[in-house]
Chains A and B, each alone.
Chain A
Amino acid sequence: MSRIWETPGGVHPPENKQQSMAHNIGHLPLPATLVIPLHQHIGAPAKVGVTVGQTVLKGQKLTDASNLNNLPVHASSSGTVIAIDDKPVAHPSGLNALCVTIASDGKDQWIEHAGISDFRQCDPLDLLQMITDAGIAGMGGAGFPAAIKLSPNHEKPVDTLIINATECEPYITADDAAMQEKTQDLIQGIEIVGHILNNPSRVLVGIENNKPQAIKALRSIIKERAIEVVSFPTKYPSGGEKQLIYILTGREVPSGGLPSDLGMICLNIGTLIAIKRAIIDGEPLISRITTVTGEACGVNRNYEVLIGTPISHLLAHNEFDERNCSRLIMGGPMMGFSLTSTEVPVVKTTNCILAPSYAEIPSDLPAQACIRCGLCAEACPASLLPQQLFWYAQAKDQERLEAHNLFDCIECGACSYVCPSNIPLVQHYRSSKGEIRKANIDKIDSDNARQRFEFRKLRLEQADEQRQVKREARRLATEQARATNSDAQSGSSAADIIAAAQQRAITKQSTPEQQKAKSERALLAAQSRLEEAENRLTEATAHGTKEQQAICGASLEGARQKVDQTQNRLKELSD
């Protein structure tokens, strides 16, 4: 039995897990349409590789590229692509994103695919490529591409593989169900990953002690394998990657670092099952286990759901009562985000759809003053001081926020959960983080602009200098040439220049007739301006202020002088 370490803080919200564990994993009828967002992982989305009207088979890749950063997505059933456009997706921002919509043909016909029977004979790099091609991203919530985690790290080889079976969020039982019903797949997944990582010395399955069935199922099957199932007391958020690593190993992931810095890798149950399917069965990631729960649903159950299934389809098959639903949450009650529409599709990271009733999760009460009671600090698993962070978040004191390690906040929500004044603390931290990130980007931008400006100044100065040098060189050359010439052709050149200039001046001058016509036109214009000025003055004397009268008087005087001047000039020309 492995030793376990206790994390600071944590809370014990009602678990509410038994409701969805009453049934085994269910299957739903094929939805009429599947909406598959292109961006379901951390990284850049790949480009669309299909066109509207194209027929696709189940498991067919919908994107062109397939590499570590641009994970592909696949058709989760056969049918026709009917749209490629922006649709509402599962994202806290509530914004739309590019999706491929498939009208399923009901045949659910697979594309040709084949797995590998003996993965131990394969080069780990080939297996990694298969995992990438299958579009596998971390299914615990973050959606980090699995193949990136598993890629060999030459600086720090992985010696500990941690399987995150904690599932500490209330309500969610997707991993619990998978461990009980897909134990064999899970173990094979662990073995594949072990092979890719060159058999790490320790393989630990971290699981909370509120899942005795799953613990039993795992322990019964791993007897002769070098896998340890470590169960520990239930406490939220023990399933946070950093928390779990501490619980199992007593080591902390450095701030801003990754578990691989400690030679560790942490994978989720769903991810391992997906890896098994990708390698052994050759199937890409097109379905996952999702918990549908909450009192607004008549049936609470886990389902094997096709990626791209609209939430409305799930709810419709679970006696969903919309009027009784206080909010619709994707994920658990602690870290899940609210959805505004039921048309959002299930994605690779959707572990739960929670539709609580008003009695279950009532509307938030108005926030009272922070009395700095410190319950939040007692609950914080990262040993932050949430009350101080809140204080400085309100004051927008970014320096103090960073000094209080705002960016080590994992947004688990434990502080908000216990806050007796109902302050939405996490929301304050999210917005402060956003502001600081933006300020940093702005700073980089302004630094770049300053550098550009300074570089331009330097460049102009250099160009100026070069011009000076050239000018000097030319002058010297001219002087030299003049010195040599002056001996040969004495003085004649200067006289020539004067004559030429005079010639140019004459040709430029117009004939007297033209000049006269020009002056006449000027006189006419000046007279009309004079008339106009007189009119304005009469107007101003009648209605305007003293100031306006003075202005009009001055402009009248100006116009009168202009007329006199042009008349004189005309007279001169006529003479």
Chain B
Amino acid sequence: MAFKQISSPHGHNPQNTGWIMQLVLLSTIPGFLALSYQFGWGTFLNLIVAVVTSLTAETAILAFRNRPIAFYLKDYSAVVTAVLLALALPPLVPWWVVVVGSLFSIVVAKQLYGGLGYNPFNPAMVGYVVLLISFPIEMTTWITPLSLLPDGVNHPGLWESISIVFAGNTPVDGVTGATPLDLFKHSNGLVVDQIYQNEALFSQASFAGVGWEWVNVGFLIGGLVLLKTRIFTWHGPLAMLGTLALMSILFWDGGSSDSPGSPIMHLFSGASMMGAFFILTDPVSSAVSNRGRLIYGALIGLLVYVIRAWGNYPDAMAFAVLLANFAAPFIDNYTLPRTYGHTDRRKATEKQEEE
């Protein structure tokens, strides 16, 4: 009798990549619920369109590449990309915007680079940036948070939402409005206290900005769950949020008319929490070592703040992440951990000594 010859280790813990991806998906639920509560059915429709498009595109490309389709679909990575893109897009954006973004994410940013594990850039963010540059009006039209809707106006219901998204109907007046970061960017000449008094978006807020603060709290909760389950380490998110907070403290400027905003507003507005826990933690396109991820996260925090404060866009998570993706291999070269038995860290670019 001959037994199979298999190299060690024999046996394996039960975790697998599909399971990790599913956990990431589950952890987006608090953020998704907050978005839906604050902004209506739009995000849900984004989700459906993005997931269907992404799975179709993934299947088609896998078929073209002669890969086993079921085997690769089971890793859930296409679904994760689709969900993250859908959560980042403004609710009630026309369906074709979601389709273009999803196609670009899956086909160009992921599969053309070789599929899961080989994409140098975060696919969801590539899709997002393509949309932001190509369709700026659709991409910057946000919905008014629930509590700020004018009297007698409600968020469109499911059927009305569907007609807006798929048939191009326009929502009722007052349903769309600015985001806190938008408002801050375009309120030049007012000191921070005035903005906070005059604008309902801030004056009625609990601590950061109506609606958005709860969306960010939702993603923070989901992120903490992932941190607790050790899907990623604290290094990237903490470095990003820490740098963002540090920058906004440094340039707070006492709340003058030039101030880019308070640390609390920056941490709990726009894509801060979603970016910190769900975008920059994409392991494929980030730096690999813990030290590397500290630098990578800090770089994203820095870029987000710089673009928010002095750039042309109110938010900057996608740009910051993509720029940091460029830097990740470089960061990796200089952030190897110190191996057991070595006195120093080595550099990845170290050449063998010539004798």
Contacts and interface: CB of A to CB of B under 8 A. Distances in A.
B340 A369 contact: no
B346 A336 contact: no
B9 A333 contact: yes
B114 to A, nearest CB: 9
Contacts of A399: 351-352
Contact of B341 (A254, A375, A403, A424): A254
B327 to A, nearest CB: 16
Contacts of A430: 7
Interface stretch (B42-50, B115-123, B144-152): B115-123
A11 interface: yes
Contacts of B20: 371, 373, 420
Interface in A384-411: 384-385, 387-388, 399-400, 402-405, 408, 411
A421 interface: yes
A422 B350 contact: no
B1 A342 contact: yes
B283 A373 contact: yes
Given A92-B7, A322-B1, A375 B339 contact: no
A371 B337 contact: no
Contacts of B1: 322, 341-342
Contacts of B9: 333-335, 413-414, 416-417, 426
Contact of B10 (A322, A361, A375, A377): A361
Contacts of B343: 254
A364 interface: yes
Interface in B97-156: 115-118
A157 to B, nearest CB: 22
Interface string B242-268: 000000000000000000000000000
A232 B165 CA distance: 61
A372 B117 contact: yes
B187 to A, nearest CB: 42
A383 B8 contact: no
A264 to B, nearest CB: 13
A248 interface: no
Contacts of B115: 369
Contact of A382 (B5, B16, B231, B339): B339
B341 A334 contact: no
Interface stretch (A130-138, A221-229, A324-332): A324-332
A246 interface: yes
- Range class of the A interface residue count: 35 or more
Nearest to A323: B1
Interface in B2-16: 2-13, 15-16
Given A377-B288, A378-B230, A420-B17, A371 B283 contact: yes
A403 B349 contact: yes
Contacts of A373: 17, 20, 231-232, 283
A369 B75 CA distance: 9
B233 interface: yes
Interface in B205-260: 230-233
A337 B6 CA distance: 7
A385 B10 contact: no
23 contacts: A255-B342, A333-B8, A336-B10, A338-B6, A338-B7, A356-B11, A366-B71, A369-B115, A371-B283, A372-B284, A373-B17, A375-B15, A383-B338, A385-B288, A385-B289, A387-B288, A403-B346, A405-B346, A417-B9, A417-B11, A417-B13, A420-B17, A430-B7
